[in-house]
Amino acid sequence: MGKIVLAAKITHVPTIWLSEHVEKHKGIRQSAIDGLRELGRRAAARGVDTFVVFDSHWIVNQGFHLNASARLKGRFTSHELPHFLFDMDYDYRGDADLARLIEKYGNEAGLKTLAHDVPGLGFEYGTLIPMHHMNRDARARVLSVACDQFADVDENRRFGAAVAEAVRASDRKVALLASGSLSHQFWPNALSAKGLNTVNGEFNRQVDLRVLELWESGRIREFLDMLPDYAERCHGEVRMADTAMLFGALGWDSYNGKGEILTPYFGSSGTGQCNVEFPVT
C-alpha cells in the first residue's frame, strides 16, 4: 500500500535560476533555494519514490492531464522569461505506472483524466526548478500534473482526492507538491525591473500574510472557505488549482495539520511566494 509521506506548497519562480546564474542577481533567492533543498532532504529521509508535482505552469484548457513518459530529458529555456531562465538541463525518470493509476481513479471520479506518453511533451518550469533543488541526484521519479485554468475549486478538490486514492493503491512513497504562487499579479512592464523583489500591492501582500497565518495555526477550514475569493481577487496562478488539489489530497476540510514555513514570504516580480510543508499523518 502506497502513502503520501510529504506534502508542500512551493515556489518555482524563474528568479531562482537567475539568482544562481547571473552575477548581478547572485543570491537574491537563496532563502527559496534553501527551503526547496530542505524539503528535498526530508523527502529523501522519508524514502520518497516519486515526486508528484501539481504544476501551475503547465496550463491546460480542459480536463486533467499527467505526463506518463518513462523518462524525461532535455534542455529548457523559458519562452516567457528567457532572460531569467535559460539552458536548464534535466534528466529524470517518470512514473508511468502511477500516472495510469491516477488516470483510472480520476476517471472513476467522473473527471476527464488523461495520462500521456508523448516524446514531445516535456516538463515546465513549475516542475523543473523545484526538482533542480529537491531531487538533485535524480534519485526519485517525477510525475508532472497539469492545472486546468477552467476547472473550479471543487473539481480540483475531487481530483486531489483521486490522486490520494491512486497513491494508496500503489506501492509508492509519494511527495505531493503544489507548485505555484500565492498572489500572482505581475508588475506592469514599465515597473517590472524595479519590482523584481516585491509584491504588487499592499492588498495582495496582506492577504498572503493572512493565508500563511491561517496555515501556520492550522485553520485550514477557514482558508478553504476563502479560497475561491482569494484566487480571484489576488489573481491566483491558474486560480490556485495546485493548492486546491493539494488540500483535496490531504482530506480538504477534515485536514487539521499546521503548516511549517521553510522559506519566509517574499515577493518576486509582483507575485507572493513561499515554501510551506504540511505534515501528513
Query: What 3 state SS string does the chain have?
Result: CCEEEEEEEECCCCHHHHHHHCHHHCCCCHHHHHHHHHHHHHHHHCCCCEEEEEEEEEEECCCEEEECCCEEEEEECCCCCCCCCCCEEEEEECCHHHHHHHHHHHHHCCCCEEEECCCCCCCCHHHHHHHHHHCCCCCCEEEEEEEECCCCHHHHHHHHHHHHHHHHHCCCEEEEEEECCCCECCCCHHHCCCCCCCECCHHHHHHHHHHHHHHHCCCHHHHHHHHHHHHHHCCCHHHHHHHHHHHHHHCHHHCCCCCEEEEEEEEECEEEEEEEECCCC
Strands 64-67 and 50-60 turn out to be unpaired
What is the full per-residue pLDDT of the chain (281 aa) written as tens digits? 999 999 999 999 999 999 999 999 999 999 999 999 999 999 999 999 999 999 999 999 999 999 999 999 999 999 999 999 999 999 999 999 999 999 999 999 999 999 999 999 999 999 999 999 999 999 999 999 999 999 999 999 999 999 999 999 999 999 999 999 999 999 999 999 999 999 999 999 999 999 999 999 999 999 999 999 999 999 999 999 999 999 999 999 999 999 999 999 999 999 999 999 999 98
Count of CB atoms situated within 10 Å of the CB of 7: 24
Q: Homologous superfamily of 3-277 in CATH?
A: LigB-like (3.40.830.10)
Provide the residue ranges of all domains of the chain, joining segments of one domain with +.
3-277
